[in-house]
Chains A and B, each alone.
Chain A
């Protein structure tokens, strides 16, 4: 993806921990970052808390980003998503505990936020993947499971799951980039 005007200067300032760069990064990528959190957590309140916590964490940890870490936008998306996934795992743990205490069955599905119509483009790209790669990737991306949990759930060795996720992500990224190119060409 080509860098937008000023992206390199912003990334350098962000790496140097310049206060204004944090504000400017939020202004440029706020909608994307908020969406990343919302799509994992499924509600506005949690998404706001998650994004604010992620920014605060980056602000406290000087050196978390350097220009050698690559594209600032991608780095921030992953930071926010990881924060959201950690938050969701905590919620699941709390919910499981509460449910166990209440002697109710665990209902993982209620935490899944999905909007199949809006996610058509990603879904189409996912469907084009080999089934094994798709399953592993879906469990990681949509359900926020760790590779150990996925390996246990699918009864496969860890190394196999790592390979499927790695190859699946590469193919999915390439497919989305290619469809994005087609849509840009249409304009």
Chain B
């Protein structure tokens, strides 16, 4: 058991500790949320100093190196990319094929609708071309029927909520934790969320605010290996 960080939070954030001292604090921070909070405040101060200094653009070679490193296969629908990325172009092409182009009007006006469109076109492409399983969400009478279709190698998931009247969050339930994955946003009367992933998830929940309204249990008995391999530490 390591001692609490106390007055070493600033030293840690500034890099004024030896490598051994820093490693000991790293280990402690994984277990102590009070110390993590102390350190986070000091890290905010250091980040503020760094962001006040001259900023430089990373070379393109570094971008490619990082991409290779983390094997990024998708561009998240969250936030902006600094470069034009092929998934957006592919999503537009798929939208054309699927007759979704009229919805493109909303692209520039509504980020949420943009996300829903992207999800729909990606999801349709996956469902049409790849073998997959389906699991139904066990719902209460107050929640709409829903299901999740997922690749046999765990590389993607599509959550579909029928008769949806409002966005519902989708969460991964694992190890007593709940990881928020995104929101299924209604487009027409169907809400859909496409989730590219690199690992298998056993339980998904639909959430209305903080309330779980439905849970789906996914079976992997027909699973096939994921070419990218399971994510480190995840069940496979």
Contact = CB atoms under 8 A, between A and B. Distances in A.
B54 A10 contact: no
Interface string B27-49: 00110010011011111111111
A10 to B, nearest CB: 6
Interface in B59-95: 59, 61-63, 65-67, 69-76, 78-82
Contact of B66 (A4, A30, A63): A30
Contacts of A68: 33, 36-37
Interface band, chain A:
35 or more
A146 B57 CA distance: 29
Contact of B72 (A16, A22, A38): A22
Interface in B164-179: 172, 179
Interface in B107-157: 111
Given A56-B69, A74-B43, A32 B36 contact: no
Contact of B70 (A22, A165, A176): A22
A147 B76 contact: no
B233 A17 contact: yes
A169 B62 contact: no
Interface residues of B, number: 74
B96 interface: no
A30 B63 contact: yes
Contacts of B172: 16
A179 B40 CA distance: 21
A27 B105 CA distance: 27
- Grouping DSSP codes into helix (H, G, I), strand (E, B) and loop, the A interface class, with mixed when no group exceeds half, is helix
Contacts of B59: 44, 48
B41 A23 contact: no
Interface of A: 1, 4-6, 9-10, 12-13, 15-24, 26-28, 30-32, 34-36, 38-39, 44, 47-48, 51-52, 55-56, 59-60, 62-64, 66, 68-71, 73-75, 77-78, 81-82, 84-86, 115, 118-119, 121-122, 125, 137, 140-141, 144-148, 150, 159, 162-163, 165-166, 169-170, 172-173, 176-177, 180
